[in-house]
Every structure is written in structure tokens, then in C-alpha cells.
């Protein structure tokens, strides 16, 4: 029987892990994800799960232990944040290239330096090309449900890749909300039993992991890995649809809000989508036809699907909670992906970027209303003064004036 619990995002993920009951959980604490392995370790100590919990000396060791346990044939999970994810860097690539369906909760936090423990997406975005599937969560409920689905997605034979499940540090991870926890038996049926393929402990069928792979086969192995990521898109949709049939909440690649008649739209991930929805409702009440798209899946990037969803709007603002230093106009990763998608799929509308909230800086509804007002002008004129705006940073207004003056002088 389903039950309602008052949980923050970390507690919701720990509940999902309890129901999944993985074989091995190696973990090392780091703010703001520490409460996930802490709560799960308590479940183990209380005999609620029969998982082997492995406390290690670093996040690099945590992912190394995950790889060993998964290669041996176990269902494996862990959690981390920010610098912890960065310390795993080498091992993230190895987990993906070995096609190991590890599930990791990443409670998104800014990377140092300077030292900052608050939310932005620089950690997961820095790892966007390591070969992991990336799912983003707006709420504790979504963090719980994405974690359940991540197991099925990663273990599917068309995929066999590790999965990161993101939620915003402190904003989601430490905010209490009403979460529906589904019946344990129903969850276990949905998750199913794990069938390992080519496990190291099958001594009757010996295999080798981590061989030297030079010019003779490396390229072919990478090509097979690419195919697994490509297949992940249909698997994510299939698992999301089955989740809906089982529990009543269907998941896709992204969510749309008020897009049917929208003239302008914002594309934004995770918890800020809730703030944008609030701002949109106020604008809608004033007659502004504003829309919202909230990507849930960043890897594999749903390029065609996003372009199709934006086909009828006149201007788009992408909101990035991280920045790609030295990339075009020093914009954010989500914007850069959207620009490439628009070029490939012939979406010929202005697409601008708003980098916001770095280091956990607050984003207010009034600021998002200003973004929509900028979009209305862009939609009307077809022009914009600058492609990337740093929203809410001190001194940005002066910088924008200087840029606009230079453009007018030119």
C-alpha cells in the first residue's frame, strides 16, 4: 500500500534505495549528499536491507569499489556531490566503458574554487561526456521516482550504461515535502531481479575486464558504447511509460507547460522550473503567452524532440546553472546543445542564454519575468543585443549597456 511521508530529497532517494535493496553501496560523505548514504547505512544497521555497505577513504575509491562490485555481478548504487564527483573523474569513464549499470545520486553543488557548498550544475555538466546517462529532478518526488527508473534504464540490455540522478543541492535535497512512497512489493516487481552478464565471479566462463585496448579494437568498443547511449532514449521512454501504467505518473524526456499556444518559451532544468512556472502563471494572467520546457534527460540529449516542441514559438531563452568557460560566448552547456540541435533540425528562431544561480545564488520570479519580457522584445524584432546574459550578477547591467553601446557604434 502506498504511503505519504514528509521527506527531503535526500530522504526520498534513500527510501528508493531501501526499496531497491542493492547488493553493494560504496560511499564517501560529502555535502550536500551525505544524508543519503547516512540514512541508507542506518537501514543496513537496522537489518532493513541486506546490502553490503562499503565505507571508503575517498570518492575515487567509492567509484572504484562500485566498478569492482558491478563487474563481479552485483546491483550497485552510490551518492556524491561536486568535488566528490570530480574526484571520481577517471573512474566515471571506466564505469561507462565497461558498460556497468551503476546508479549514482548526484546532489548538484558548485565545484571549487573558491569553496562553495551550494547549488549549481557545474559538477554533473562537467561529467556530461563521461558516458553516463543524466536524469534531472525538480522535486523530492521526482528524485525518488527517477532513482527507481534509473535501475531499469541502466540494466536494460539495449543500454547497459551507468546512470546519474541529479537533484539541486539544499534547494531539493534539504527541503521537506510530501512524497508518495509506493508499495514495497509493487516497487520490487517494477524493479525486478538483476541478471548480471559476464560477471567476474562466474569462474566457469572467465572474462577479462580492463585489458589493454589499443588501435586494433578501441574504436569499435567506443562505437558500441555510443550505440548503447543512442538506445537509451527509447528505453527511457519505455520505462517511463511502464512506470506510469504501474504508479500513475508517466515520465518522458522532458515536461512541457503552457506550450500549446506559447509565443515565447524558457528551457530550464531541475528546481528552477518550479520558480519559472510561478512566474509564468503571473504573466499568463496579464495576457503574455509564455511557455516552459523542463528537460528531464540531458544525456542522451533529446535534440529532435526539443526542437519539435519549440517549433511554433518565436523566441527561446535557455537558462543554465553552469557555464562552459571559453566556449562560444562563455554560455552554458544546455544552451550550446540547444544551438547545435536547432542548427541540425532547422529550428530557425532566436535562442538566447541566461546563466544564473552559480554558487547557489537565489533566482527570483521577478527575474524570470524579466527574461520573458526580454523574449517578447526579441520575438517582436528578431534581434537581441547579446546572446548570453549573466542573470542576477552584480554589475551585469553596466556590462550590458556597454555591449549595447558598442553594437550601436558599430
In the prediction, which pLDDT does 400 show? Answer: 60
In angstroms, rounded to a whole number, what is the distance separating the alpha carbons of residues 401 and 296? 35
**What's the predicted TM-score (pTM) here?**
0.96
The residues, any chain, with a CB within 8 Å of residue 336's CB and separated by 6 or more, are 324, 327, 328
Split the chain (410 residues) into runs of 10 and give each run's mean pLDDT.
96 98 98 98 96 97 98 98 98 98 98 96 98 98 98 98 98 98 98 95 92 94 97 98 98 98 98 98 96 98 98 98 97 98 98 98 97 97 95 80 53
Q: CATH classification of 3-190+211-247 is 3.40.50.300, yes or no?
A: no
Q: How many CA atoms lie less than 13 Å away from 51 in the CB half-sphere?
A: 31
Same fold, 3-190+211-247 and 254-409: yes
- Structural domain spans, the chain: 3-190+211-247, 254-409
Q: How many CA atoms lie less than 13 Å away from 112 in the CB half-sphere?
A: 11
Whether a cis peptide bond, with omega within 30° of 0, leads into 385 is: no
272 in Cβ contact with 136 (< 8 Å): no
106 in Cβ contact with 78 (< 8 Å): no
The residues, any chain, with a CB within 8 Å of residue 38's CB and separated by 6 or more, are 29
Q: Which residue has the cell 547557489?
A: 360
321 in Cβ contact with 281 (< 8 Å): no
CATH of domain 254-409: 3.40.50.920
SS3 340: helix
In the prediction, which pLDDT does 395 show? Answer: 87
Select from 43, 330, 321 the least CA-distant residue to 167.
Answer: 321
In the prediction, which pLDDT does 399 show? Answer: 62
Cell numbers at residue 321, please? 546553472
The residues, any chain, with a CB within 8 Å of residue 366's CB and separated by 6 or more, are 279
112 in Cβ contact with 85 (< 8 Å): no
In angstroms, rounded to a whole number, what is the distance separating the alpha carbons of residues 410 and 49? 67
In the prediction, which pLDDT does 405 show? Answer: 54
In angstroms, rounded to a whole number, what is the distance separating the alpha carbons of residues 39 and 7? 12
Q: Which residue has the cell 544546455?
A: 334
- The sign of the dihedral angle between the CA atoms of 368, 370, 374, 377 is positive
Query: Which residues make beta-bridge pairs with 297?
Result: 135
In the prediction, which pLDDT does 402 show? Answer: 53
CA angle 63-134-48, nearest 5°? 55
168 in Cβ contact with 358 (< 8 Å): no
In angstroms, rounded to a whole number, what is the distance separating the alpha carbons of residues 343 and 397? 30
Count of Cβ atoms closer than 10 Å to residue 299 Cβ: 21
Residues 61, 67, 72, 74, Cα dihedral to 10°: 100
Give the CA distances from residue 64 to residues 21, 70, 90, 359, 372, in Å, rounded to whole numbers and listed in that order.
20, 10, 9, 28, 45
Amino acid at each position: 500500500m502506498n504511503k505519504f511521508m514528509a521527506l527531503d530529497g535526500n530522504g526520498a532517494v534513500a527510501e528508493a534505495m531501501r526499496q531497491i535493496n542493492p547488493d553493494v553501496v560504496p560511499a564517501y560523505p560529502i555535502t550536500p549528499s551525505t544524508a543519503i548514504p547516512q540514512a541508507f547505512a542506518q537501514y543496513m544497521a537496522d537489518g532493513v536491507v541486506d546490502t553490503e555497505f562499503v565505507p571508503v577513504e575517498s570518492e575515487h575509491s567509492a567509484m572504484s569499489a562500485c566498478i569492482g562490485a558491478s563487474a563481479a555481478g552485483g546491483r550497485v548504487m552510490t551518492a556524491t556531490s561536486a568535488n566528490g564527483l570530480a574526484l571520481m573523474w577517471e573512474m566515471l569513464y571506466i564505469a561507462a566503458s565497461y558498460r556497468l549499470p551503476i546508479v549514482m545520486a548526484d546532489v548538484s553543488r558548485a565545484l571549487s574554487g573558491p569553496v562553495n557548498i551550494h547549488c549549481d550544475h557545474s559538477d554533473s555538466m562537467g561529467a556530461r561526456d563521461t558516458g553516463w546517462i543524466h536524469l534531472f529532478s525538480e522535486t523530492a518526488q521526482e528524485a525518488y521516482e527517477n532513482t527507481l527508473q534509473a535501475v531499469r534504464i541502466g540494466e536494460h540490455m539495449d543500454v547497459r550504461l551507468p546512470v546519474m540522478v541529479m537533484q539541486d543541492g539544499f534547494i531539493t535535497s534539504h527541503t521537506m515535502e510530501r512524497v508518495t512512497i509506493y508499495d514495497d512489493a509493487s516497487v520490487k516487481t517494477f524493479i525486478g531481479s538483476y541478471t548480471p552478464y559476464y560477471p567476474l565471479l562466474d569462474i566457469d566462463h572467465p572474462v577479462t575486464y580492463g585489458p589493454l585496448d589499443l588501435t586494433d579494437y578501441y574504436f569499435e568498443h567506443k562505437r558500441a558504447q555510443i550505440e548503447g547511449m543512442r538506445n537509451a532514449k527509447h528505453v527511457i521512454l519505455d520505462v517511463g511509460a511502464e512506470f506510469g501504467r504501474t504508479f500513475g505518473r508517466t515520465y518522458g524526456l522532458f515536461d512541457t507547460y503552457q506550450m500549446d499556444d506559447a509565443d515565447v518559451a524558457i528551457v530550464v532544468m531541475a528546481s528552477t522550473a518550479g520558480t519559472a512556472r510561478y512566474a509564468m502563471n503571473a504573466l499568463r494572467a496579464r495576457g503574455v503567452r509564455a511557455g516552459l520546457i523542463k528537460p528531464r534527460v540531458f544525456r542522451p540529449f533529446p535534440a529532435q524532440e526539443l526542437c519539435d516542441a519549440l517549433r511554433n514559438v518565436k523566441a527561446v531563452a535557455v537558462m543554465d546553472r553552469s557555464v562552459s568557460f571559453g566556449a562560444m560566448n562563455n554560455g552554458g552547456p544546455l544552451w550550446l546543445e540547444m544551438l547545435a540541435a536547432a542548427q541540425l533540425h532547422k529550428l530557425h528562431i532566436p535562442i538566447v542564454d541566461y546563466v544564473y544561480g552559480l554558487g547557489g545564488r537565489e533566482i527570483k520570479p521577478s527575474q524570470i519575468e524579466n527574461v520573458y519580457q526580454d523574449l517578447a522584445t526579441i520575438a517582436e524584432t528578431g534581434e537581441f543585443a547579446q546572446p548570453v546574459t549573466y542573470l542576477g550578477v552584480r554589475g551585469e547591467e553596466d556590462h550590458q549597456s556597454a555591449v549595447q553601446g558598442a553594437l550601436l557604434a558599430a
